[in-house]
Amino acid sequence: MPELPEVESLVRGVRDALKGKRIANVSFLRPDIREVIPAERLKEILSGQKVTDVSRRGKYMLIHTKEGALGVHLGMSGRFVASDKSACLVPHTHALFDLEKNLQFRFIDPRRFGRLFSVEKNETSTHPFLAKLGVEPLEDEIDLGDHLFDASRSRSQAVKVFLMDSEVVVGVGNIYASESLWRAKINPQIPSKNLKLSQFRKLALHIKAVLSDAIDAGGTTLRDYRDKDGKPGYFQTNLAVYGKESMPCPRCRTTVRRMIQAARSTFFCSVCQK
C-alpha cells in the first residue's frame, strides 16, 4: 500500500509536471472505483483549466485549479503515472488526464480501493475525507513532539498503535512506526501516556527523519519504478528492523523480534527498546 513518502514523492513529481499547465481534457473509463466518480463535476474543475498547485494532505493528493480540486487516493494498488498519449493502455486504467502535446496522466488501480473525488474551493479542510486528518509530521510550523505528548496524556494504548492513529498524526504507517521507535530506542508496547515529553521530542525527530529518508529514496514514482515484487524502490533501503525478524539488530546484534499489535506486525529489538 502506498505510504506517505510515496505519495509525497508523487506529489512533488506531479507538481513539477503540472503546475501552471493546462489540462486539455479528462476522461473516465468506468463510473466508479471505490465510490462513484463525480465525473461531471471533475470535468468542470479540470477541463480547460490551468493547474494552480498540487498539494498533499495525509495520503491524499490534491490537484488544484481556480474551480476547485481533484482529490486522488491511491488505495491499495493505485498509481498515477505520466505516459505518452499514444502508449497502449495497461489493464485497469480508469482515468485519463490529457495535457498539451503528447503528455497524458493516467490513473491505474487493479484492486479499485483508490479514490478520485472533487473538492470545492472552500472545502479543503472540511471535506469529509480530509476533515479528520491529524497533523502533518513534516510540517515545520507544528511541534510534533509537543503535539504527540499533549494528545497522549489520557491514552493508555501502546505507543506504536497511538502513532498509527491518523486522527493524531498522518502518515506514520506500520513500517515508519516500527523504524522510528527503534531509532528512538522506545519500547513499542509502552502505554503512550507513560512517555515523557523528552521521549516524544526525540521520537518526533526520528519520525521526521525516517519519513524524509524514505521520500529522498523514493523519487522514482512518476516513472513508475517497481522492484521485482512490485514494491516501490525505497522499501528496500534503510530499514533497520521492519521485516527483519531473526536478523541481528544493526545497533546491538540482538535478534530482531516480531509481535502483533492491533492486528499489525511490529518489529523491534528487546534490548535497545526497553
Within 13 A of 245's CA, how many CA atoms are on the CB side? 8
Active site residue 59: yes
Q: Which stretch binds Zn ion (CB under 5 A): 37-45, 67-75, 104-112, 264-272?
A: 264-272
Q: How far is the CB of 219 from Zn ion (least distance, A)?
A: 30
**Cβ count near 85 (within 10 Å):** 12
Q: How far is the CB of 249 from Zn ion (least distance, A)?
A: 3
> Pick from 51, 234, 249, 268: which binds Zn ion (CB under 5 A)?
249
101: Cβ contacts below 8 Å, ≥ 6 apart? none
Q: Please check whether residue 28 is in contact with residue 38, taking contact to mean a CB–CB distance below 8 angstroms.
A: no
Q: Is 18 left (phi over 0), alpha (psi -120 to 50) or beta?
A: alpha
> Pick from 151, 210, 211, 272: which binds Zn ion (CB under 5 A)?
272
Q: Is 33 in the site for Zn ion (CB under 5 A)?
A: no
Q: How far is the CB of 205 from Zn ion (least distance, A)?
A: 19
Q: Is 247 in the site for Zn ion (CB under 5 A)?
A: no
Q: Please check whether residue 179 is in contact with residue 241, taking contact to mean a CB–CB distance below 8 angstroms.
A: yes
Cell 511490529, located at residue: 266
The grid cell for 267 is 518489529
Q: By CB under 5 A, how many residues form the interface with Zn ion?
A: 7
CA 271 distance to own-chain centroid: 31
Within 13 A of 58's CA, how many CA atoms are on the CB side? 23
Q: Cβ closer to Zn ion: 29 or 252?
A: 252
Dist. CA 128–CA 126, nearest whole Å: 6
User: Pick the catalytic residue: 34, 112, 201, 264?
Assistant: 264
> Pick from 251, 257, 258, 264: which binds Zn ion (CB under 5 A)?
251
Q: Is 186 in the site for Zn ion (CB under 5 A)?
A: no
Q: Is 252 in the site for Zn ion (CB under 5 A)?
A: yes
Active site residue 264: yes
Q: Cβ closer to Zn ion: 130 or 209?
A: 209
- Show which residues are catalytic: 2-3, 59, 264
Q: List residues binding Zn ion (CB under 5 A).
A: 249, 251-252, 254, 269, 271-272
